[in-house]
Structure 1
Amino acid sequence: MNLSLNGINLLPAFLVGLAGSVHCAGMCGGIVGALSAPPRPAFPVPVRTVTAPDAVHVASYNAGRIASYAAAGALAGGVAGGAASLAGLPVLQAGAYVIANLMLVALGLYLMDAWHGLALLERSGQALWRRIAPLLRRVGPAATPGRMFAAGLLWGWLPCGMVYSVLVTAMLSGSALGGAIVMLAFGLGTLPMLAAIGLAGVRLRSLFGLRQVRVACGLLILGFGLLGLWRAAGGLPASWVDVLCLAPGAEA
């Protein structure tokens, strides 16, 4: 089961990261902001200006986070690719595409606060996170780019329903490299939001936490999932619509 990896097929993963990152802003934006900025002076300052150290710290943190996503994608794609080579059944490929688009539907409803099934997945990952969290505390105050990168590497494994939903798509790539590329596209989609939060702080975080923003982004992702399900069911011919949905690609 191979997802044809070109710009068109990777666009949905990027857009899901872009729209879904409002979830990051609401759920862990405060921690992201605290981790992403270098230490500030104790006395109040009237205006927070973005400095070169700010940019370096934010870039280092996000590079580590996205690297973790790519590693998880490589693991998912590699494992799924090995299983597919043993099975080789077209029905598994078709079923995987349906599951991937159902995950997008679930993510859209989650962002809209209409259904919280993905929260069950997040809770299921807490056992892994309990092992990783002490390492994050050991990193301590991230005062250097290296420590910021390490913090991002660890934070990328935080249990997150949004990440899990895209990992299903990474599995469709059928290879470690393909899975890594899918998750890299997703991670780059989350970059504008989380980089802005790290630099702008509370004001921007509160803006992206608005219900109207979450609903709009949730509707967008929900649309991707429904369109993909329609396409996978044969209701839409292969055409430009593949730009906006997950659909079977060419076999590798």
Structure 2
Amino acid sequence: MALEGMLIAAFIVGLLGGVHCLGMCGGVVGTLTFSLTPKHQLSQWRMLPFQLAYNLGRISSYVIIGALIGLLAASLTTLVPFLPFQQALQVFAGLFMIALGLYLGGWWLGVAAVERLGAGLWRRLQPFTQKLTPVRTLPQAWLYGLVWGWLPCGLVYSVLIMAFSAASMTQGALVMLAFGLGTLPNLMLMGVFAFYFTRWARLTWVKRSAGATVMLMGLWQIYLALSLTVV
């Protein structure tokens, strides 16, 4: 898949993943929103800079992880033929996106098992968030978000596979940046209008529409990967 296609796909997956973000990050967003001491508590609109700082920290983590995973893939391509390696990764990423779509739509919950694989690392990192609360400054909010970005998430893992298939440090970082920007509207809305967003995201038709769209994107990615063999 060309870089442009990967960036578009990563952005759309992030945008449609708001339903999943509600379950994974809703508690974190609530904690961040209400972690200010009474002296520093702000109105919904004045919380926006803090919410933006949290989310930029989170996206910064995604970019770092994408760069590292892209660098790893680039080093592996020196050991194996590049095209078959890239095809296999893209097909795997497409299959994972189909599984993720089933998860988002509530049809199959197998992706939850994958998310548990990162629980050990998160347990090591979570104590740092406790040292950063209550949040009083924007740099503190950014650091909190930087740790938050390592929260185990099947949505992130699916896009990381896509970033890995790019086999480039720069492109891996760009793919994760596009994904992070796609998640930004949902999580910003969740932080400022948590009650209304929660009710909307729990609607069955919303979850199933998002899930079906992600599944179609997974099928499209598999098609593009297999079409690379066509001369």
TM exceeding 0.5: yes
3-state DSSP of counterpart to 1:152: helix
Residues in 2 aligned to 1:121 and 1:178: alpha-carbon distance in whole angstroms: 24
- Normalized per residue, the structure richer in helix is 2
Map 1:46-61 to 2 at 5 A: 50-52=44-46, 54-61=47-54
Q: Please state how far the C-alpha of 1:207 moved relative to its aligned partner.
A: 1.5
SS in 2 for 1:34: helix
Counterpart pick for 2:113 among 101, 120, 123 = 120
Residue 7 (structure 2) aligned to one of 10, 14, 31? 10
Aligned 8 A contact 1:94 1:232 in 2: yes
In 2, distance between residues paired with 1:208 and 1:216? Answer: 11
Q: Does 1:100 align with 2:100?
A: no
Instruction: Report whether the alignment pairs 1:191 with 2:184.
Output: yes
Residue 21 of structure 2 corresponds to which residue in structure 1? 24
Aligned residues: 227
- Alpha-carbon shift at residue 49 of structure 1 (Å): 5.2
Partner of residue 207, structure 1: 200
- Residues 207-216 or 219-228, more deviating: 207-216
- What 5-or-longer segments of structure 1 have no aligned partner? 43-47, 235-246
**CA RMSD for the aligned pairs?**
2.0
> Helix, strand or coil: the match of 1:25?
helix
The 2-side partners of 1:157 and 1:13 are apart by: 18
Cα deviation 1:50-91 (Å, max 9, x = unaligned): 333x11101100000000011111111110111012223422
Taking the TM superposition and a 5 Å limit, the aligned residue runs for 1:61-210 are 61-210=54-203
> Post-superposition shift, 1:206?
2.4
Change (3 A) 1:168 1:177: same
The structural deviation recorded for 1:208 is 1.2
Question: Does structure 2 conserve the Cα–Cα contact (< 8 Å) formed by 1:38 and 1:57?
Answer: no
Seq. identity, %: 41
C-alpha distance in 1, partners of 2:222/2:170? 25
Q: Work out which of the residue numbers 30, 33, 37 in structure 1 matches 2:30.
A: 33
Do 2:86 and 2:166's aligned partners in 1 also have CA atoms closer than 8 Å?
Answer: no
CA 1:174/1:233 → structure 2, altered by over 3 Å: closer, same or farther?
closer
Go from structure 1 to structure 2 and tell me whether the alpha carbon gap of 1:210 and 1:69 turns closer, same or farther (over 3 Å shift): same
| Residue-by-residue CA offset, 1:111-156 (whole Å, 9 max, x unaligned) | 1121222111111111101100111111111121111101100010
Contact 2:3 2:171 in 1 (8 A): yes
Q: TM-score, normalised by structure 2?
A: 0.91
Cα pair 2:33 2:51 within 8 Å, conserved:
yes
- Rounded Cα–Cα distance in structure 1 between residues aligned with 2:187 and 2:50: 12
Question: How much has 1:220 moved relative to structure 2?
Answer: 0.5
